[in-house]
Structure 1
Amino acid sequence: MSESQRWDDVDLYFTSRLAPDDDVLRAALRDSEAAGLPSIAVTAPQGKFLQLLAQIQGARTVLEIGTLGGYSTIWLARALPEDGRVVTLEHSPVHADVAVRNIARAGLDRVVDVRVGPALESLPHLADENPAPFDLVFIDADKANNPHYVEWALRLTRTGSLIILDNVVRDGHVADPTSTDPAITGTRTAIDLIADHPRLTGTALQTVGGKGYDGFALARVVS
């Protein structure tokens, strides 16, 4: 058995025991693939992890930066009370169309507001609406702009809010200070921001699977 197969088997075991899928989740992945979306959605255990974090947080409002096909959005929205709200930002109109259909099929379209356009353009418009502070922010978009997304998350949250940054390990390359890859330099700058910002305390976790090493960074707004 290859190492890749071993980690795939671990994922399958955890999924079957702790994060089993259903028709809605399977359809979201199926339709995303059929529409040609990249196969970069969170895994089922990671989706369940996000759902549990939102539940532990007691979240009523969630901001997601990077919708893709709405798979992670569904996990997050399912964690919210009936009057909860997810605002999710997606750059690609094609991706957003798939996500809207997937979210509607899940019966969550009244909870989820999908906004289309570059996130760094959508975020100022969102701020102009003066929304109630978000309880949780999940960042899973273009990695070069991670520092800007963390800064916006700080503007749109409150003391006690949780900020989650996905794909921070970059298959181990995040530890390379000489890298010029924008995804890596952006992620390193975001990690530095979390480490040094007086309003944040955080950590990062590695995960491993058939697609390689990756992980989450988590930060709590402390003031």
Structure 2
Amino acid sequence: MGEIDTWSKVDGYFNSKLLAADPVLDTVLDANAGAGLPAIDVAPNQGKLLYLLAKMTGAANILEIGTLGGYSTIWLARALPEAGRLVSLEYEHKHVVVAEDNLRLAGLADKTEVIEGPALESLAALEARGAAPFDFIFIDADKPNNPHYLKWALKLACPGAVIVADNVVRGGEVVQADSKDDRVQGIRQFMDLLAAEPRVEAVALQTVGSKGYDGFVLGLVTA
């Protein structure tokens, strides 16, 4: 049995014990696949982790950078209190349409807003309209722009906010300083900025599972 098979089976075992059956999320994944969206959503246990982190911190104003079909958006929005709000940013029009349908299906359309367009422009627009401060920020979009997303996250976050960035290990390629992959270089620049940032305490964790070998950064904005 290969490593990925073992990892997937372990994920399946834990998920069978700790994640309840969820027809809504199953339908969402089917809708994403049917629309031809890439299968790069977070895994179910990763979605549950996002949900728990947002719930444990009492997040009431969440920002997600990178919506895709709204799978992680639903996990995060489910953690919101009654008056909570979530804003998600997505570049691709087709993804926005699918995500909005999925959010309506999940009964979360009233708590969520998907903004279409380049995320850096949308972030500037959010600042201009006074949508901040956010108390939970999930970064899961184009990796070359991760350094810029971190700078914006710090502009828009309140003290005590949680920042989570996904896909930072890149199958181990993050250690390759001479990588020609702009996604790897984006993550490395992101890590350099984070290491030099006095307002954030952070840690990076490697993960294995049904999505293969990768990892995420978890940060706490302290000032």
Normalised TM-score (structure 1): 0.98
Contact 1:170–1:213 (Cα < 8 Å) also in 2: yes
Q: CA deviation at 1:175?
A: 1.0
Cα distance in 1, alignment partners of residues 149 and 211 from structure 2? 25
1:135 aligns with 2:130: no
Q: Distance in 2 between matches of 1:210 and 1:51?
A: 19
Equivalences for 1:177-192 in 2 at 5 Å? 177-192=177-192
* Distance in 2 (alpha carbons) for counterparts of 1:210 and 1:17: 16
Quote how far apart the aligned CAs of 1:210 are.
4.1
The corresponding residue for 1:35 is 35
CA contact (8 A) 1:69 1:98 kept: yes
Shift of 1:201: 1.2
Give 1:14 deviation, angstroms. Answer: 1.6
- 2:8 aligned counterpart, secondary structure: helix
Partner of 1:208: 208
Instruction: Indicate the residue corresponding to 2:160 in structure 1.
Output: 160
Alpha-carbon shift at residue 20 of structure 1 (Å): 3.1
What residue number does 2:3 align with? 3
Contact 2:174 2:187 in 1 (8 A): yes
- Cα offset for 1:8? 0.8
In structure 2, distance between residues paired with 1:18 and 1:83: 27
Aligned counterpart, 1:96? 96
5 Å-filtered alignment, 1:109-124, equals 109-124=109-124
Q: Is the 8 Å Cα contact of residues 43 and 210 (structure 2) preserved in structure 1?
A: no
Summarize the Cα distance change of 1:219–1:123 in structure 2 as closer, same or farther, 3 Å threshold.
same
Percent of residue pairs identical = 54
SS in 2 for 1:62: strand
Deviations 1:127-158 (A, max 9, x none): 10112410000000000000000100000011
Provide the secondary structure at the position in 2 that maps to 1:131: coil
Number of aligned residue pairs: 223
Cα distance between partner residues in 1 of 2:212 and 2:33: 20
Q: What letter matches 1:4 in structure 2?
A: I
Measured in 2, the distance between the counterparts of 1:78 and 1:204 equals: 25
Please give the alpha-carbon distance, in whole angstroms, between the structure 2 residues aligned to 1:194 and 1:202: 8
Cα offset for 1:29? 0.3
Consecutive unaligned residues in structure 2, runs of 5 or more? none
Q: Does the alignment pair 1:219 with 2:211?
A: no
CA contact (8 A) 1:167 1:215 kept: yes
- The equivalent residue for 1:14 is 14
Counterpart CA distance in 2 for 1:192 and 1:57 is 26
Contact 1:20 1:44 in 2 (8 A): no
1:6-58 Cα deviation digits (max 9, x unpaired): 11101111211112341110011000000000000000000000000001111
- Corresponding letter in the other structure for 1:165: A
Q: How far apart, CA to CA, are the structure 2 residues paired with 1:120 and 1:83? A: 27
Contact 1:7 1:208 in 2 (8 A): yes
User: What are structure 1's unaligned runs of at least 5 residues?
Assistant: none
2:44 aligned partner: 44
Distance 1:48 1:210 in 2: 14
Q: In the aligned structure 1, how far is the partner of 2:173 from the partner of 2:120?
A: 26
1:84-103: per-residue Cα shift (whole Å, max 9, x none)?
00000000000110000000
The amino acid of 1:179's aligned partner reads S
2:155 counterpart of 1:149:
no
